[in-house]
Amino acid sequence: MILNEREKLLRQIQSEDFALYETVLFLDGHPHDEGALAFYRAHRDMLEKLKHEYTKKYGPLTIYDNQDEKCWHWIDKPLPWEKEAN
């Protein structure tokens, strides 16, 4: 499957998000694991960078990052459950 630029960036975000979430579940039960904490920091920083780039190019991922002063892009299509969004 050929992915466009947006889809490629979204895949990266989803994979970083997944790595982070896995770490979070582990850390909940092992709050002093320094290795897991280092992994968490690295992936959180990476995710932040990727989400910043995505938001700037393609619009908000959360209600807190609408950038346009003239329009509320939060409601724009495609919606997450539509094929075109994935």
Partner 1 sequence: MWIYEKKLQYPVKIKNPNANYAKIIISQLGGADGELAASMRYLHQRYSMPYKEVVGILTDVGTEELAHLEMISAILYQLTKGLSSEEIKRSGLDTYFVDHTSGIYPVSAAGVPFDMKYVGIKGDVIADLNEDLAAEQKARVTYDNILRLVDDPDVRDPIKYLRQREIVHYQRFGDALRITQDKLNSKNFYAYNPAFD
* Binding stretches for partner 1 (CB under 8 A): 17, 62-63, 74-77, 79-81
- Closest distance between partner 1 and the C-beta of residue 24, in Å? 10
**Nearest-approach distance from CB 75 to partner 1, in angstroms:** 4
> Which residue, 33 or 60, has its beta carbon nearer to partner 1?
60
Residue 56 Cβ vs partner 1, minimum distance, rounded to whole Å: 20
Three-state DSSP string of the chain: CCCCHHHHHHHHHHHHHHHHHHHHHHHHHCCCCHHHHHHHHHHHHHHHHHHHHHHHHHCCCCCCCCCCCCCCHHHCCCCCCCHHHC
- Between 38 and 75, whose beta carbon lies closer to partner 1? 75
Q: Would you say 2 or 27 has its CB closer to partner 1? A: 27
